């Protein structure tokens, strides 16, 4: 069956440009998560969606970062006026339910963003 997919797999952009990263979760998964991973480091939580709503946006690093989700399906993470410090792998994960106990998060392959 299809897993979580992300596009593009690699993105190289110039400083100051806007980028959009896309995540297609597993069909039927109500929760969707975005993480950022800088080179050689662990994952940093950015934001999660419960359905189409994002109850907690406190993990977003700055107001240049935004995310949306539509149809309880695809999500886009937008970074405006990119900076070199935004260079990282952006990982998306989805899970079937949220809260009330553990459910496994299934991760996509990530988008490697390089800001020149």
Name the site residues for another protein (rule: CB under 8 A): 4, 31, 33, 35, 37, 39, 41-45, 48, 50, 55-56, 89, 91, 93, 95, 98-100, 102-110
Distance of closest approach, residue 42 Cβ to another protein, in angstroms = 4
What SS3 string covers the chain? CCCCEEECCEEEECCCCCEEEEEECCCCCCEEEEEEECCCCCEEEEEEEECCEEEECCCCCCCCEEEEECCCCCEEEEECCCCHHHCEEEEEEEECCCCCCCCCCEECCCEEEEEC
Distance of closest approach, residue 16 Cβ to another protein, in angstroms = 26
Choose between 16 and 55: whose C-beta lies nearer to another protein: 55
Distance of closest approach, residue 80 Cβ to another protein, in angstroms = 23
């Amino acid at each position: 069956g299809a897993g979580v997919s992300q596009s593009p797999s690699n993105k190289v952009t110039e400083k100051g440009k806007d980028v959009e990263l896309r995540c297609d979760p597993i069909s039927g998964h109500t929760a969707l998560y975005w993480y950022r991973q800088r080179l050689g480091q662990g994952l940093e939580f950015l934001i999660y969606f419960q359905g189409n709503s994002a109850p907690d946006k406190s993990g977003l690093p700055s107001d240049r970062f935004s995310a949306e989700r539509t149809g309880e399906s695809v999500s886009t993470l937008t970074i405006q006026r990119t900076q070199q410090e935004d260079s990282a792998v952006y990982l998306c994960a989805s899970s079937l339910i949220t809260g009330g106990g553990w459910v496994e998060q299934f991760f996509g392959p990530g988008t490697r963003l390089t800001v020149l």
